Structure 1
Amino acid sequence: MKENKSLHSICRWTFNAGKGGFVPDDMRPKWNSKNLNTVDMIKLVRNRVAPRLPGNIELGIEMHYDNEFDEKTAPEIADALVDSKIYLAMVTPGAHRHYAYGGVASLDPQERKKAEEFGERTVNLAYGTLRKAWHPDPSKWPTVVIWNGSFGYDLASIGIFQMYQNLKESIAKLCQYEEKLGGNLYFAIEPKPNEGHPALLIPTVASALVFWNKLEEEFKITRDKKGVNKEFGHSEMIGLDHVYDTIEEIDNHALVHMHLNSQGYNDGIILGGPGKYDIDHGTRVNGMNIAIAGLIREADFNRWKGHDMQVRPYDNEEQGIDRVIRSVLSWEACAQAAQELDKEQLMKYLNNRETAKAEDIMREALTNAQKYFDRMYKE
């Protein structure tokens, strides 16, 4: 019987020297960009993270162009991925670092043109130098995530409508560009309500679904391999339900990638939640993650689950590595609990309005998940 692999992708940006601002920017000097480049990070994951994970897990890497990979560094990165048996899971244009006045949605035509070219270069490298690091299974090929950190504004005006029109046209153009290269990559919009602007275009999963529908309607962009990169924490930031977000994605055939993390408010231990900034804790063992794990299992989702997380600003390098391992194992524990949950009995209780007994089943699953985590972590 073929072993069912679980795909987890580790984000390059997790491995940083420190946040700065109100907390130290040099807590982890070994992870300073001068000491730890992307190739070094891949080797660190291979040597320090992979050995502590169950054998059914396959690992991938997520990277921003052009600060985490570019034309100069891509060849060595591709070699390191292949040598480490780690796959290219996701690329994203880090255009927000260069084009903060809207990026491809910008009302400045020069910025918009440069941001569009930036996205094309990202796709070119995925198809070119990095191609050999794709997973051998086409259903697990990389995702191009379109993150909307620069697609925002801080001034209420009629210009917002034109920004949205620009965004549609530019993303449609990028999809058409990629289609000519082969149409093999997946595309995912990552919704976010704010940061780096007070307000952003495409703030929610529902907004992303509407966006893809408009691209299909207005530009004839195929919906195949197009969807949402739901980040759990982004939904939590504005008090939305990421369980229901998942249902919307499944119902609209838009479940192509996801970012596992948490703002923390739903486990009763760490602080965060609605109205808070983007904290990016790792995955937690909690009831909502068990529910989502069950939903995606029933939907036969078996693509990359990215850990878009930040180690804590007071962690050293060893503690930071441990946080990443804990995040992966936490999800696997929730997935195991979801698989073993008595769905038939749960639905019977819900159908009979016996919600307290249904709650008992979910609480038992949560208890089991923590036990699974403890066992995997010790092993």
Structure 2
Amino acid sequence: MAIPKSYHSVCRWTFNPGKGGFVPSDMRPGWSADRLDSVAVIGLIKKKIAPRMPEHIELGYEVHYDTEINDQNAAAMADALLDAGMHLAMITPGGHSHFAYGGIASLDPNERKAAEDLGTRTVELAYGTMKKAWHPDPALAPSLILWNGSYGYDLASVGIRRMYQNLKESVAGLCRREAELGGKLHIGFEPKPNEGHPAMLIPTVASALLFWRKLEEEFGVSRKQKGVNKEFGHSEMIGLDHVYDSVEELDNNAMVHMHLNSQGYNDGIILGGPGKYDIDHGTRINGMNIAIAGLIQEAGFNRWKGHDMQVRAYDDEEQGIDRVVRSILYWDACEQAARRLDTPQLLKHLEQRETAKAEDMMRAALVDACGIFEELYKG
């Protein structure tokens, strides 16, 4: 049986020289900004990662405006993507790099206006210089993801409600501008409970779903192609169930993009988990990921799956590249195992309260995924 096409995107921010802080900031000197810019990363992916992918996987690229992509390098980036046989999968306004007091939700009108302008320029660049790097299939048009890293606060006050209203008004304005340009992007929030503030607007999947419904009610913004960047690790960080999160997203037709990663506690091997900082391991093979792969297959989701990950603080450049390859192939193995799982039999066991037998089936699927990965990794 032919394996369906699968679309995976690689993130520019993965290719950094080192995290810094309590770990080295120069572990991978070849990835320093003066030696490996955003255009050169595309060449690195073409040379080092694409040849290790099976034929059914297509690759895309994810970037922040204006720190990783901007008006100066966009033309070269679009050409490099076309040359590499890749496409723009996701673009996001990097407001967290500039605005520390709420961004588009800010109570400071000057900051809010500047943050709104950044978002507008992001959309205009996507429809302008970068348009030729979109996938030819309209169903695979890029995602515009609004990460809430700047939509936060650390002071309890009645001003929080005003910030939330500012957020609604600003996003409604951005959506109207995007609709004027074509209405083809898939727009979603990436929920997160903290970072870069102790408390955030849009902390959970449910918060994002409610936000879009309010935007439709109050501002007439259609929820079509609006929703959530399904981010595994952010749910894991606060002990939420990212499998059920997936059900909510799919049930509301709101999964516009995916960020595959793990905080590490869920495979019994890598440490991390609730209460830890955002570790961003790559994808892991585990039963939960096989379940999510089955859910998105059942729902017909086949858009970009981004690998929002950081290589380990002790990895050199070749090891870092290998981490990205493994993350993609781990997920592909989970997808294939989910496809091979006898779902009707699994449901029959559950209907008959034979949960131990259902557990046996999921464990067998896990073993199957590990075997699939070994074959994929060997090439």
Paired position in structure 2 for 1:136:
136
1:287-339 deviation line (CA, Å, top 9, x unaligned): 00000000000000010000000000100000000000000000000000000
Paired position in structure 2 for 1:262:
262
The whole-number CA distance in structure 1 between the counterparts of 2:240 and 2:121 is 34
State the AA in 2 paired with 1:67. T
For residues 2 and 139 of structure 1, do their structure 2 counterparts lie closer, same or farther at Cα, with a shift above 3 Å needed? farther
Q: Which moved more, 1:341-350 or 1:316-325?
A: 341-350
SS in 2 for 1:149: helix
Paired position in structure 2 for 1:5:
5
State the AA in 2 paired with 1:63. V
Paired position in structure 1 for 2:326:
326
The whole-number CA distance in structure 2 between the counterparts of 1:233 and 1:199 is 17
The whole-number CA distance in structure 1 between the counterparts of 2:281 and 2:37 is 23
For residues 75 and 336 of structure 1, do their structure 2 counterparts lie closer, same or farther at Cα, with a shift above 3 Å needed? same
Paired position in structure 1 for 2:306:
306
Cα root mean square deviation, aligned? 0.9
The whole-number CA distance in structure 1 between the counterparts of 2:184 and 2:267 is 38
Matched, 1:211 2:211: yes
For residues 366 and 196 of structure 1, do their structure 2 counterparts lie closer, same or farther at Cα, with a shift above 3 Å needed? same
Give 1:99-118 correspondences, 5 Å limit.
99-118=99-118
1:28-83 deviation line (CA, Å, top 9, x unaligned): 00000110001110010011000001100010000000110100110100000011
The whole-number CA distance in structure 1 between the counterparts of 2:330 and 2:14 is 17
The whole-number CA distance in structure 2 between the counterparts of 1:180 and 1:337 is 42
Paired position in structure 2 for 1:185:
185
The whole-number CA distance in structure 2 between the counterparts of 1:334 and 1:230 is 16
Deviation at 1:230, TM superposition (A): 1.7
Paired position in structure 2 for 1:343:
343
The whole-number CA distance in structure 2 between the counterparts of 1:272 and 1:164 is 31
The whole-number CA distance in structure 2 between the counterparts of 1:59 and 1:227 is 23
The whole-number CA distance in structure 2 between the counterparts of 1:195 and 1:189 is 15
Deviation at 1:100, TM superposition (A): 1.3
Matched, 1:49 2:78: no
Give 1:254-293 correspondences, 5 Å limit.
254-293=254-293
TM-score (norm 1): 0.99
State the AA in 1 paired with 2:91. V
The whole-number CA distance in structure 2 between the counterparts of 1:230 and 1:300 is 15
Paired position in structure 2 for 1:67:
67
SS in 2 for 1:270: coil
The whole-number CA distance in structure 2 between the counterparts of 1:143 and 1:10 is 14
The whole-number CA distance in structure 1 between the counterparts of 2:4 and 2:342 is 21
The whole-number CA distance in structure 2 between the counterparts of 1:247 and 1:80 is 37
SS in 1 for 2:285: coil
1:81-132 deviation line (CA, Å, top 9, x unaligned): 0111100000000011111100000000000000000000000110000000
The whole-number CA distance in structure 1 between the counterparts of 2:82 and 2:122 is 19
The whole-number CA distance in structure 1 between the counterparts of 2:71 and 2:212 is 30
The whole-number CA distance in structure 2 between the counterparts of 1:239 and 1:196 is 19
SS in 2 for 1:82: helix
Paired position in structure 1 for 2:198:
198
The whole-number CA distance in structure 1 between the counterparts of 2:168 and 2:2 is 42
Deviation at 1:4, TM superposition (A): 2.4
Deviation at 1:345, TM superposition (A): 1.1
State the AA in 1 paired with 2:134. W
Structure 2 residue runs without a partner (length 5+) = none
The whole-number CA distance in structure 2 between the counterparts of 1:192 and 1:34 is 31
Deviation at 1:166, TM superposition (A): 0.3
Deviation at 1:256, TM superposition (A): 1.1
SS in 2 for 1:377: helix
Paired position in structure 2 for 1:227:
227
The whole-number CA distance in structure 2 between the counterparts of 1:72 and 1:287 is 44
Instruction: Report the count of equivalent residues.
Output: 379
Structure 1 residue runs without a partner (length 5+) = none
Paired position in structure 1 for 2:26:
26
Matched, 1:155 2:162: no
The whole-number CA distance in structure 1 between the counterparts of 2:159 and 2:255 is 31
TM-score (norm 2): 0.99
Deviation at 1:2, TM superposition (A): 8.3
Paired position in structure 1 for 2:87:
87
